[in-house]
A = this chain, B = another copy of it.
């Protein structure tokens, strides 16, 4: 039986309002923010409005053995939710209600399609927030944040998405609806299937509901420092110094972002000399930029305490004296992606290394750049050792020398005790390197777990494997 006919019958959708087959819709589902476009086209995009739609879709696809690609806002950076040829893309983007906010229990119950920023806007009036803050917060959904265990700028102080998820409602490959976890912060009844689902990239089930932890918004205004260093080593050492100063009683910074020389040069081209002069100071060509922010009580004192630590590494330091000045410092960091995309197609990588190996990893990036003859402007969540080396190129196809350089990056990160993806996920783009990091035994366990949840292998086949 034709899958589209079967789905329309199962979802009681004779007119194709939910089960879409229009070419622009199918085409849009083939790609994400990574720019990677799947070969061929999906058979249909199911624009689910209800849990029942999700269940019926999975039951039908199970019966017919058709692959299902779960998808949220489509803002992924690894191709994990891209609709492959002949698959059914199961979108939960329209399941976007906030069902409950409990101030007493500091949690929210949401549908998966709720945007991160929308949830934060809603709970802010209660003095609460959902801590994970991927750069995509304005456009990415909570379900996708959970499916990829999204990180962000605040992780250095507030942790990753896994720590913000209490419980999940999940539809399994055969259409059964199960609930994992609790409304409590503690709970150890059986294996932690909630944590297992976080970061599983649509391979174990489709998240249709989430009970997420909210945390109090820190009071007061943040205090923000910008510092320019001569080399990336000095900047990395300064980043380490302000983070580990917490062991001497200093507060933990809430953000520590490093822009290397190539990244800062690209931003300078993009923003122009006037903006740069009033932000990072004039005569700073060739510099490396570090953005450090503190929040909560005592933020300003903390920033004042951090300044000498940055200066000790040779940093020219500026403490934002006003909201406008803070905004200018943040704009430097925020302009990175726009500065890159203004130059051409961008491939964003996402390796992470132990914080103590950050300078070494920058060395490797420099060597790989030289060896392969490609520029690799890099921004790092320096407090977490998480680097985003960027490749810019012309045309739709990633050039071979860029692929080779990316492969070398992954190998270097793993050699330094790190990982090939800190927060973006494996998806399609990094699947060939999975075994290098995990080894055959762990890969075998992962495949076994996938088979437990999805014996037929219909959930996101060919991804994360």
Binding site for B on A (CB under 8 A): 102-107, 126-128, 148-149, 151, 155-156, 159-160, 162-163, 172, 176, 178-180, 182-193, 195-196, 198-200, 203-204, 216-220, 240, 244, 246-249, 251-252, 297-298, 352-356, 381, 384-386, 417-426, 430, 434, 437-439, 441-443, 445-446, 448-449, 451-453, 464
Contacts and interface: CB of A to CB of B under 8 A. Distances in A.
B441 A186 contact: no
Given A104-B240, A190-B442, A190-B446, A297 B184 contact: no
Going nearest first, the 3 A-B pairs with the smallest beta carbon separation are A219-B249, A127-B247, A195-B195
A133 to B, nearest CB: 13
A256 B150 CA distance: 31
A190 B434 contact: yes
27 contacts: A102-B356, A103-B247, A105-B355, A107-B354, A148-B188, A151-B186, A163-B163, A178-B442, A182-B418, A182-B419, A183-B418, A184-B355, A186-B384, A186-B386, A186-B419, A186-B423, A187-B418, A188-B421, A191-B196, A191-B204, A191-B446, A192-B195, A192-B198, A193-B446, A195-B198, A445-B453, A449-B449
Contacts of A437: 189-190
Contact of A439 (B155, B178, B354): B178
A441 to B, nearest CB: 5
A interface, over-half SS? loop
Contact of A442 (B193, B297, B354): B193
A198 to B, nearest CB: 7
Nearest to A436: B189
Among A102, A198, A352, max chain B CB count under 10 A is at A352
Nearest to A417: B183
Contact of A448 (B219, B249, B438, B452): B452
A239 to B, nearest CB: 11
B193 A445 contact: yes
A189 B438 contact: yes
Given A246-B216, A434-B190, A178 B421 contact: no
A352 B418 contact: no
A183 B437 CA distance: 13
A416 to B, nearest CB: 9
A190 B126 contact: no
Contacts of A422: 184, 186-188
A311 B434 CA distance: 57
Nearest to A302: B297
A174 to B, nearest CB: 10
A348 to B, nearest CB: 14
B188 A103 contact: no
A98 B57 CA distance: 51
Contacts of A453: 445, 448
Contacts of A149: 188, 192
Nearest to A385: B184
A147 to B, nearest CB: 10
Nearest to A386: B186
A123 B180 CA distance: 35
A184 B352 contact: yes
B188 A423 contact: yes
Among A179, A203, A247, A441, max chain B CB count under 10 A is at A247
Nearest to A123: B247
A420 to B, nearest CB: 6
A449 B192 contact: no
A251 B189 CA distance: 30
A106 B204 CA distance: 32
A353 B421 CA distance: 36
Given A103-B244, A184-B385, A190 B452 contact: no
Contacts of A151: 186
Nearest to A180: B442
A384 B184 contact: yes
A439 B162 contact: no
B184 A216 contact: no
Contacts of A105: 354-356
B298 A249 contact: no
Contacts of A176: 441
Contacts of A180: 442
